[in-house]
Structure 1
Amino acid sequence: MDDVMKNWGFRSLGDFLAALFHPRVRGEKDNRSSRHRQVVAAFLQGRSNVAMADIIPLIYNHLKSRPKRLNTAERSAAFSPYKRLTQIRFAAPCLSAWATRIVGDAAYARVGKMARKPKDGSRNRRHLRASTNGRSPNTQVVDWEDVEFTVDELAHGYKDEDQLVWFLTECFAGSRKNGKVVVKKTRPHPVVCYYSQYLQIIPKCRQHPRSLAYKGDQLKF
């Protein structure tokens, strides 16, 4: 490492990594060699012997990446959704804060997608109407098959539709044993997750009143 830093004139490891992974902007001259581009592409695409899945735990779990107990400012920045990443100096809290925002943005987008009416016209219980005035030819009206369902069935439907949103909901409601989620015989958490996820979708539905079975504050069932 010392030879690389001295021979190539990098002041720090950060400068070296910034140059190594510098993304080429469209219209900008690419000064990287073909070997440079190939090596970086192989690593980022998981085609090298050591992949990103190996590097991230090494950085996150490194003893030097975590602030000491007396450094309360850095410790409190872990998983922060608001503090600027440039203000977080230690690697572990910075990575966790960055991941928090990535997951938060993805969850917001996916809940919004679940609240919208399917474009392919597939049947979805969140968009069924009790009746129709005939203005829309594709209106889905509730029938007896839609009424005959169980909460457990609906819960598994949500789980299959978007695993990320279900996972986050399950983190709040599910019990764990040895790091794995377990379903209790009494008060099983999938039922709680279903209602929790349903309540997450309702505000999103109200943002799309024309495409959903909503009228005022009540569902049209």
Structure 2
Amino acid sequence: MTEQTFGEAVKEARKRKGMTQAELAELVGVTQGGLGHIETGRNGVERDPTIVMRMEAALGMPPGTLLRYLPENHPIRQVAEIEIPILGHVGAGPACADAADPEERLGVGEAFAGCVAYRVRGDSMLSEHIQSGDYIIVRADPSPQPGEIVVAWVEELEGCVCKKLTRSNRLVSDNNWSHKLTDSDRIYGAMVAVVRITSKLYRHA
């Protein structure tokens, strides 16, 4: 059986996600034609490693998933792994208020420098491919866009949740839960990637 190419892997993941070339290209920051050339193998990916990592984030893939489809000597595969802090649990279901061990870290690509991670509890975000036990990588962003998955402190629940933000400034999830954000609530950031539980968890000595 012929080994899958990088372009084929991108195309397959995009279709599984139900995205058009135009939608993925916009999220990644390339032209639709450029993405089409990558998928067909007419052009390789550019030498900026963040392009591959932005693809992984847009497609909800753990960091490094697409890198394995590139040749071993490809410049993008030489990117050093870094560690980001895990701040605690976040509820995709009931809210969570417990913090993580301050020594815990998650290994990610350097495109996620400056981000933080949370461990998910609950299964109310399965439509977004987020399941209990996953780690979500979050960028600090107090003003995310509607449609993004955010981590927010909900005062009336006295805990953090992982939910989708709507245009009407509500947090929603698969189980028909809905909450209108108030002045007492706080959005910590928007999700940029999901890391499956099989990914490595790093702890400093």
Q: Give the TM-score taking structure 2 as reference length.
A: 0.27
The structure whose RCO (Cα within 8 Å, separation 6+) is larger is: 2
Q: Give the TM-score taking structure 1 as reference length.
A: 0.26
Larger Rg: 1
